[in-house]
Structure 1
Amino acid sequence: DVFYFDDRDLSWEAEDTVIKAASKAFAGLPTEVEVRNEARVHLWYAQKFGVACAPHASTEAAIDSFAATTCCLGVRLEPGGRWRVYAPHGLSDVFNLVVRPNPVLAPREVYETKAARWQQQWPELTVMGWPSQSAALAPSSS
């Protein structure tokens, strides 16, 4: 996935222009590249996933709400050519092929559907279950 944040024009037409340009740029890849403007997510999220989503203030804020902590990962090329990695949950689960729920926004069924699809594609994944309500409310030991 490629995601960006542009809150200057929240129209579908503006995002679609970027999607079409990316489609041409990535045409030679053997996989689909999905492009989304994270500034627009709040406009369609409830209709697609059944829960309201407040507008995100940045790409990082959007990443923080992704359905699995393993997906909470962004890489950006900064001016000057340096790479910036944003991984609020670290990279251990990524390298260890562990998928863990991030029950911040996405409903349980969204996480479980995505995790099942990923595990079918990559059977070596370890998929962690959705936390029970009591576990989600328990204070952190850190």
Structure 2
Amino acid sequence: MTGRLPLDEQLAALKAALSRNDVLLEVLHRTATLELPGWYLTAGCLFQTVWNVTTNRDPTQGIKDYDVFYFDDGDLSWEAEDAAIRAGREAFSGLAAEVEIRNEARVHLWYEQKFGAPCAPHTSAESAIDCFAATTCCLGVRLGADGGWRVYAPHGLSDVFNLVVRPNPVLAPREVYETKAARWLRQWPELTVLNWPVPSPAGLPSA
């Protein structure tokens, strides 16, 4: 089972699985040409590709979009982020996929209005990836200057390969996790979805 392999072998298996998704590879290479600071291709397009490969589905099945995070706290204006989005729209022209580019340095400016909870300013693209609703989502890949793959996986890769969805209650509300998990379970019924942690009553040990 891949999820029980040593980390170096899991990294090799991750690259092999993601390389089965031709759209993902094209997004990686085109994003690299944009020279966005601290960028990563992240979230669903990565772990869902692995799920598809692991369960013998088409590598692109069920993937809604391809998320690109970058971090530029030197200019927090919408105009600067919009310029990056428009440059991406040109770079991804003709690609049969929706690619969403977001400056994670600006998330705290709009997060509470959208999700109903405040968000402290992120300090990097990595710190934004750390805040996904499920630890399984906390995964980022980019191409280095030498063309090599750089992988950010703060919770490791075992859950990704073992088809385990684990809550990450650091920012996103419980409702966000449960809504996403229910949607994923409909698409990939092989998943094991773990429950959101419930605080124990005062004075009692947690479960």
Matched with 1:6 is 72
Relative to 1, partners in 2 of residues 1:33 and 1:123: Cα closer, same or farther, differing over 3 Å? farther
Q: Does 1:22 align with 2:58?
A: no
Q: Which residue is 1:115 aligned to?
A: 181
Give the deviation of 1:27 after TM superposition. 3.4
Pair member with larger Rg: 2
1:48 to 102, 110, 114: 114
Q: Quick one: higher RCO (CA 8 Å, sep 6+), 1 or 2?
A: 2
* Structure 1 residue aligned with 2:194: 128
What is the match of residue 38 of structure 1? 104
Give the match for residue 103 of structure 1. 169
Identity, % of aligned positions = 78
One-letter amino acid of the counterpart of residue 79, structure 1 = A
Distance 1:94 1:106, change over 3 A: same
What is the distance in 2 between the residues matched to 1:123 and 1:27? 33
Q: Residue 88 of structure 2: SS of its match in structure 1?
A: helix
**1:65-76 correspondence to structure 2 within 5 Å:** 65-76=131-142
Provide the aligned C-alpha RMSD in A. 1.7
Give the paired residue count: 136
Q: What is the one-letter code of the residue matched to 2:108? A: H
Distance 1:101 1:25 in 2: 34
Point out the more displaced range, 25-34 or 105-114: 25-34
Report the Cα offset of residue 15 of structure 1. Answer: 1.1
TM-score normalised to structure 2 length: 0.61
Which residue among 151, 163, 169 is the counterpart of 1:85?
151
Quick one: structure 1 residues 7 and 95, their matched pair in 2 at CA, closer, same or farther if it must change by over 3 Å?
same
Kindly state the Cα deviation for residue 112 of structure 1 after the two structures are TM-superposed. 1.0
- Mapped partners of 1:20, 1:126: distance in 2: 38
Q: Unpaired segments of 5 or more residues in structure 2? A: 1-66
Uncovered stretches (5+) of structure 1, i.e. residues with no partner: none
Letter in 1 for 2:148: R
SS of 1:110's equivalent in the other structure is: helix
**TM-score w.r.t. length of structure 1:** 0.86
Of the structure 1 ranges 49-58 and 12-21, higher mean CA displacement relative to structure 2 is found in: 12-21
